[in-house]
Amino acid sequence: MLTEAQSVLHTWCRQTEWNAPTLVGGAGAHLFTSDGRRILDMSSLAECSNLGHQHPRLIEAIRRQAERLCFVTNAWGAEPRARLAELLLEKAGFAGGRVFFTLGGADANEHAVKFARQACSRPRGWIITRDRSYHGASYAAMALSGDARTVDQTDAETFRVRHVPPPYAYRCPFADTPPQECARAALQNLADTLAAMRGDVAAVLMEPHAGTNGIVAPPEYWPGLRTVTRQHDVLLIADEVMSGFGRCGEWFAWQRYGEEGRPDLMSLAKGLTGAHLPLGAVVIAAPVARRLEPQMLMTGLTYSGHPLACAAGVAAIETYQQEGLIERSRRLGATLFQELQQMQKRVSLIGEVRGGQGLFAVLELVRDRQTRQPLAAWPQLHPALSVLLRRALERGVSFAARGNLVILAPPLVIGEQDLADALGLLEQLLLAAQQEIGP
């Protein structure tokens, strides 16, 4: 019998280097391996298992739906599809809007772009996104991304995509300025770009909060982005694939800014079902939906709005609500952020702590706090950080890291003591890495 290492192509790795434990189960924030270990998941796997693993409500909802109806195409109606669309419009406050279901985040972003272009009658309209952003790994989504892993894999210009600098305040691409000034400079750059392109832009697509790029924009940025896009009559698409469903302390991260931050479309996936089944969605505000409704929608996905996945989505939203997980994320996220700030005082390797709005935080590691010299050139992973991850796993905790970043995004159901223990272990391992790296 072939092993998985011999038979499967795995994402984001050299196949000859893939060597991971086999998971056979999970419960809450823990994963169970085939060799009998119990692992605390501090990243929600791919920042998607917001509800933890094998949540009983989700398992039961999937089982019930499987007994009734597993599949219909979009040519037929399905009760869980209609109910999930209703719930999403309600949670987003998009009364009178529409929902298009996809299979995941990449195709949600591609369809959001397609709908924006069709709604504004600019079939080849430019899409503005940010450097060091991530919107998926299909060819079009790679073009939308400003990610170092994908930038050489496709030609953004061919896909009518233009990238602008991000509001990366810790390493501001404009000047060494305070966060507010970095946000203003990024917004001015966007406004100048839109003005120069003179009505050829269909939409701006950006993440309201950090993704795996680790950049958390200053609070002035997103409301300012909404103002700039309105001034230039350009649609705003919020990529909420990672930041939605409580990850950043709200149903959707843009809601932190109230009406000032409301986008025209938003793309969803990951927490939509808590990753119990694959599902993505584009949620479309009423004014955009009115433009699309009389037109032929030139798209189709065989499994769009799959009843099993939609039933899981309905159960997920009900679970977030009934278990108070959005509020819990906000509360525990504040505690997480405070603990990490205290850790920073004791660990000089930590250059900056970002996050604080929910159970999501980023540590940027540096050789020197004064110069902000990174451990390694982005997006390379320093060997000491690889060792840290391995040692943590040996101690029963799975952390996520990328480049110079440690990304903390545990399931929203994580126990408070488990969270505290994981942070204690992380500090120990960072101190050990600090000694090994040296001055």
Q: What is the CATH number of the domain that holds 348?
A: 3.90.1150.10
Whether the CA torsion 81, 87, 93, 95 is positive or negative: it is positive
Contact 425, 397 (CB under 8 A): yes
Which residues lie below 8 Å from residue 329, measured CB to CB, with a gap of 6+? 246, 247, 248, 249, 358, 359, 412
Contact 279, 62 (CB under 8 A): no
Q: What is the CATH number of the domain that holds 98?
A: 3.40.640.10
Domain boundary residue, one of 262, 291, 322: 322
pLDDT value at position 256?
96
Hey, what are 313's tokens?
A: 């989505």
Contact 119, 291 (CB under 8 A): yes
- The DSSP secondary-structure symbol of 33 reads E
Domain boundary residue, one of 322, 352, 384: 322
If asked whether residues 311 and 329 sit together in one domain, one would say: no
Interatomic CA distance for residues 168 and 144, integer angstroms: 18
Which residues lie below 8 Å from residue 109, measured CB to CB, with a gap of 6+? 135, 136, 141, 144, 205, 237, 239, 241, 267
pLDDT value at position 211?
75
Whether the CA torsion 135, 140, 144, 146 is positive or negative: it is positive
If asked whether residues 197 and 256 sit together in one domain, one would say: yes
If asked whether residues 247 and 100 sit together in one domain, one would say: yes
Domain boundary residue, one of 266, 287, 322: 322
If asked whether residues 227 and 93 sit together in one domain, one would say: yes
> What radius of gyration, in Å, describes the C-alpha atoms of the chain?
21
Block mean pLDDT (10 aa), the chain, length 439: 92 93 97 97 97 98 98 96 98 98 98 98 96 94 92 91 96 93 97 95 95 90 97 97 97 96 98 98 98 95 97 98 98 98 97 95 95 92 95 97 96 98 98 89
Q: Which residue range(s) make up the domain with 16?
A: 4-54+324-437
If asked whether residues 235 and 169 sit together in one domain, one would say: yes
If asked whether residues 296 and 347 sit together in one domain, one would say: no
If asked whether residues 279 and 336 sit together in one domain, one would say: no
The tally of domains found in the chain comes to 2
If asked whether residues 275 and 377 sit together in one domain, one would say: no
Phi-psi region of 96 (alpha: psi -120 to 50; beta: other; left: phi over 0): left
